[in-house]
């Protein structure tokens, strides 16, 4: 026996409100780790534009240079951090928040590895890489506090 389901617009709206609750809007600029991630992104962009052979940052992925590939990865990962923080802050699901937090931890380790890789590639301006490392270190401190706060 087949039953025909007949949903009205009201039923659909009610279902969406019950099952797809959205977090109330949070101003991300008030969250210290989000502001620090934007600082990290800005510093990564500046360092990438200085260190890369290809000065067109949008076309770094097309380069065959090992340095350009690492710089592109550095930029890509730096862009992902604020996005993951936003995803975690907007989510109601504990598992999604922790997945974003874990992903950010992996990204931060990758960025540290890119700094080491660029150093081994022969970057003479090591002070810029050390600045990025110190920015990562301060980000990591904020990250630990933030991760504890999203668990609750």
Q: Note whether residue 59 is domain-resident.
A: yes
pLDDT at 12: 41
Domain that holds residue 123: 53-152
Alpha carbon distance 33, 97 (integer Å): 14
Burial class (CB in 10 A: 0-12, 13-18, 19+), 43: middle
Per-residue pLDDT band for 62 (boundaries 50, 70, 90) equals: low
Contact of 62 with 72, CB cutoff 8 Å: no
Sequence-distant (≥ 6) Cβ neighbours of residue 150 within 8 angstroms: 88, 89, 97, 98, 101
Q: Is 36 a member of any domain? A: no
Quickly state the pLDDT bin for 20 (edges 50, 70, 90). very low
Q: How far apart are CA 139 and CA 22, in angstroms?
A: 28
What is the maximum alpha-carbon separation in the chain? 76
Calculate ∠ Cα 134-66-48, nearest 5°.
40
- How much is the pTM? 0.77
How many domains are contained in the chain? 1
Q: Is residue 101 part of a domain?
A: yes
Residue 55 has pLDDT above 90, yes or no: no
């Amino acid at each position: 026996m087949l039953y025909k389901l007949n949903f009205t617009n009201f039923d659909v709206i009610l279902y969406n409100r019950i099952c797809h609750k959205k977090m109330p809007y949070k101003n991300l600029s008030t969250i210290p780790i989000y502001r620090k991630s934007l600082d990290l992104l800005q510093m990564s962009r500046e360092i990438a534009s200085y260190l890369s052979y290809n000065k067109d940052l949008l076309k770094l992925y097309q380069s065959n240079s090992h340095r350009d590939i690492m710089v592109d990865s550095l930029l890509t990962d730096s862009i992902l951090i604020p996005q993951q923080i936003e995803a975690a802050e907007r989510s109601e699901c504990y598992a999604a928040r922790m997945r974003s937090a874990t992903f950010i931890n992996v990204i931060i380790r990758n960025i540290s590895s890119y700094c080491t890789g660029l150093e081994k590639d022969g970057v003479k301006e090591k002070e810029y890489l050390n600045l990025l490392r110190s920015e990562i270190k301060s980000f990591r401190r904020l990250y630990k506090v933030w991760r504890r706060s999203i668990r609750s």
